[in-house]
Amino acid sequence: MKILLAVGTRPNFVKIAPIIRAIEKTDMEYILVHTGQHYDPAMSRSFFEELDIPEPYVNLRQSLDTPIGFGTMMNIFDLTLDKIRPDYVIVVGDVDSTFACALVAARKGIKVVHVEAGLRSFDRTMKEEINRILTDSISDLFFTTEEMANYNLLREGKDINRIFFVGNVMIDSLKYILKKTIDEPFKPLSFDVKEKKYGIVTLHRPSNVDNKEILESLLDTLYTISKNLRLIFPLHPRVKKNIALFGLKDKLESLSDNIIIADPLGYSEMIRLMKGARLVITDSGGVQEETTYLNVPCLTVRENTERPITVDVGTNILVGRDMQVLEDTARKIIFGEVKEGCIPPLWDGHAAERIVTILGKEGSHACE
């Protein structure tokens, strides 16, 4: 059985790494294709190194920021499939390249496997929600991270025999990194901070950073929060670009007394920082999951989440885009009012093994 693994962004790398390690313990053949959706070495190369991901068979080097780029990548991926002729194409998550590769594979009659299927925010203003729905509409096998995702897929008419609740491969990678650094004392490589004496901020959603007034309000609120807790704020390229575009560089520089502005961080460094943080402020789906596993309070600056289990049983709190709510909730956590959470079912570091075991059985049936 030949499996093609299609990845394109940092979250994809994190999710695919444990699947590769699990496949390598079998007699299955795999080919890794990097679409190049994230092409910045600081945002891509380090993830391959830290997660021990092998060099991809090919890097399509295609940004998907424009319809032309999207179409070009699909054409190149189509030719790649003709050359490789895999039995399955595995796509992960909800980024543009996930849907693009799934669509090309499905049109060629190649079975599509969606890892992290069935997640829904029910907010179609997010392009990730559209990608999730469309990818699931053409997938053949669905691997889910939480039981609500199973329900969503069944409600949409998917075959119950094609849906497998396997756990969360993001947590597989997180545990892998923690195991590699288990004997190391807490000492982030780039920052002079003490454990539980700082917070982390990660922002990149267009709804938060593509509007000048909203982004400026967020910066003001972060400054207020930082008066009681030092914050580390690695700037996503989208945020950095918009700060320059909106003329907010001076404002950003004025925050530097209490907020550490940083370049994008490698995966290992980010996990170490999250583990030692007092709280995390984010709009990232993956960070909601990672903080839940690490039992670190997470304030999500969104009105909804496609990962409801992080709110139901985890440490995640949706604060919406009301800056007063964000400020008040952060203050409560800083001064000791912490939401206790627990680890969701099957978030145990073995999701990738379950996926590969099921794929092996499915492949055997297909050959009978």
Whether 204 is catalytic: yes
What is the token pair recorded at 75? 């054409």
What is the token pair recorded at 117? 């299927």
* Cα angle value 153/37/289 (rounded, 5°): 45
What is the DSSP track for 65-134?
Answer: SSHHHHHHHHHHHHHHHHHH--SEEEEESSSHHHHHHHHHHHHTT-EEEEETTT-----TTSHHHHHHHH
Dist CA 22 CA 176 (whole Å):
13
Dist CA 154 CA 39 (whole Å):
36
Dist CA 316 CA 336 (whole Å):
16
Dist CA 43 CA 48 (whole Å):
10
Q: Cβ atoms within 10 A of the Cβ of 62, count?
A: 24
Q: Are strands 163-165 and 29-34 parallel, antiparallel or unpaired?
A: unpaired
- Measure Cα distances from 90 to 99, 106, 224 in Å: 11, 11, 44
Dist CA 115 CA 263 (whole Å):
29
CA-wise closest residue to 8 among 65, 60, 68: 60
Q: Which of 204, 236, 350, 365 is catalytic?
A: 204
What is the token pair recorded at 277? 């943080």
Yes or no: say if 319 and 311 are a contact pair by the CB < 8 Å rule: no
Residue 333: partners with Cβ closer than 8 Å, 6 or more residues away:
278, 279, 297, 299, 339
- Give me the active site residues, please: 204
